[in-house]
């Protein structure tokens, strides 16, 4: 039996607590390394696909050709949304934040899945496939609906990245666009026990269901200190307006002790390896799509932050250059965090399955700081 926690175990923000064991992703925050099942993220970004990386995270090894074909077929068979979910999306107010729309639709998918409350490994694997396959359709359907456009049926011959862009825009994406999005999905697929993944673990550890767990994770992801920062970066770039104003705005924000979105990380005290990759990527895409000033503004922000806070271990994180990348891909600002959710679905579902394979209820203690022995005063005497 574990010993009862004591006051001296208190660790604000759980910054120094190891709360789970996982074979999925390894992070070396000091040297800026990220691996999925031992494979460097850079190698995966260059050579893998989102679907293959998902197999890697779920199964702990790269697939054979047949296994990858089987996973692709299983995912593609689940691209469509149940008609009830499309009907539900059509009831959402058109000004709903897409992350709220996504969270609601994902929770509602449980109502259309006979496996929803079955927690055996096979049922959970089927649900993981459905969640990874259907999340892009939810994001695209809500965006089409709120824009007054027809909701577009998925194309099962396409991979997840291409099919998402098809459902969103109603046009086949160029190879460069599809590849760029696929790489973004790989880079965002998993990242240890981050806040949203931890949320999903807490929920699944009660032996609740995967849909509840993922809906909770989506709620955690949208916060500006977590995945919501990619939208925050774009809003900051819009606020700055042009390259000549970068210094003035960043100096003012720093003087006001405002956090600069897209910088800093709980684990990385070195350059986030995903940001290294995305920086090069953002530059290439910005060049191709006429968004070079956006890239130059981001680069100037990085130079200023380097002078001011790099010594404190604050560097660009994954959200910083993903903002320019998504913008260059023509995505609306409030779809940036949903893009993160589409990718992280493979990590969240993988961690849920890993947790259930060796479950223990996650229930930390808290340090009570209130008073004791206060007399109960009847209402008439208060």
What residues from 228 to 247 belong to the interface with ligand ACO (CB under 6 A)? 229
Pairwise CA distance, residues 229 & 159, whole Å = 27
Of the residues 182, 265, 272, 351, which is catalytic? 265
Instruction: Report residue 24 as tokens.
Output: 């999925």
Instruction: Report residue 254 as tokens.
Output: 């720093």
Q: Is 98 in the site for ligand ACO (CB under 6 A)?
A: no
**Residue 237, number of CB atoms within 10 A of its CB:** 24
The single residue among 222, 265, 279, 283 that binds ligand ACO, judged by CB under 6 A, is 265
Place of tokens 């000549």: 244
Of the residues 159, 209, 319, 351, which is catalytic? 319
Q: Is 316 in the site for ligand ACO (CB under 6 A)?
A: no
Nearest to 221 by CA among 339, 349, 341, 101: 341
Known active-site residue 265? yes
Q: Is 216 in the site for ligand ACO (CB under 6 A)?
A: no
Output the smallest distance, CB 231 to ligand ACO, in A.
11
Q: Is 19 in the site for ligand ACO (CB under 6 A)?
A: no
The single residue among 140, 187, 278, 318 that binds ligand ACO, judged by CB under 6 A, is 318
The single residue among 183, 237, 261, 353 that binds ligand ACO, judged by CB under 6 A, is 261
Known active-site residue 188? no
Which DSSP string corresponds to 229-288?
HHHHHHHHHHHH-SGGGHHHHHHHHHHTTPPPTTB--SS-SS--HHHHHHHHHHHHHHHH
Cβ atoms of 304 and 246 closer than 8 Å: yes
In sequence order, the β-bridge partners of residue 33 are 28
Output the smallest distance, CB 73 to ligand ACO, in A.
31
Output the smallest distance, CB 66 to ligand ACO, in A.
34
Residues that bind ligand ACO (CB under 6 A): 13, 194, 225-227, 229, 259-266, 309, 312, 314, 317-319
């Amino acid at each position: 039996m574990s010993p009862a926690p004591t006051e001296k175990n208190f660790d604000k923000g759980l910054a120094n607590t190891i709360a789970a064991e996982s074979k999925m992703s390894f992070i070396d925050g000091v040297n800026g390394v990220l691996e999925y099942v031992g494979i460097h993220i850079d190698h995966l970004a260059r050579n893998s696909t989102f679907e293959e990386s998902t197999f890697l995270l779920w199964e702990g090894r790269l697939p054979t050709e047949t296994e990858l074909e089987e996973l692709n077929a299983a995912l593609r068979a689940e691209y469509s949304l149940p008609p009830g979910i499309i009907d539900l999306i059509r009831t959402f107010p058109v000004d709903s934040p897409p992350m709220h729309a996504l969270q609601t639709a994902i929770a509602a998918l449980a109502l259309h899945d006979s496996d929803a409350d079955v927690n055996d490994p096979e049922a959970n694997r089927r649900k993981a496939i459905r969640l990874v396959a259907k999340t892009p359709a939810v994001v695209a359907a809500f965006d089409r609906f709120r824009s007054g456009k027809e909701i577009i049926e998925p194309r099962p011959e396409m991979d997840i990245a291409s099919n998402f862009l098809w459902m969103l825009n109603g046009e086949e994406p160029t190879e460069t666009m599809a590849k760029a999005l696929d790489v973004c999905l790989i880079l965002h697929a998993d990242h240890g026990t981050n806040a949203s993944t931890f949320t999903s673990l807490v929920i699944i550890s009660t032996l609740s269901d995967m849909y509840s767990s993922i809906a909770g994770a989506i709620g955690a992801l949208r916060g500006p200190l977590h995945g919501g920062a990619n939208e925050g970066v774009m809003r900051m770039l819009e606020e700055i307006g042009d390259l000549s104003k970068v210094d003035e705005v960043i100096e003012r924000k720093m003087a006001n002790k405002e956090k600069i979105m897209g910088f800093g990380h709980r684990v990385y005290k070195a350059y986030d390896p995903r940001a290294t990759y995305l920086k090069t990527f953002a530059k290439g895409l910005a060049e191709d799509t006429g968004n070079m000033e956006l890239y130059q503004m981001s680069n100037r922000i990085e130079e200023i932050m380097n002078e001011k806070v790099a010594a404190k271990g604050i560097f660009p994180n994954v959200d910083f250059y993903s903002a320019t990348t998504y913008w260059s891909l023509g995505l609306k600002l409030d779809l940036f965090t949903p893009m993160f959710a589409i990718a992280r679905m493979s990590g969240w579902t993988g961690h849920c399955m890993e947790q259930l394979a060796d479950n223990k209820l996650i229930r930390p203690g808290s340090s009570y700081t209130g008073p004791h022995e206060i007399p109960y005063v009847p209402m008439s005497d208060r």
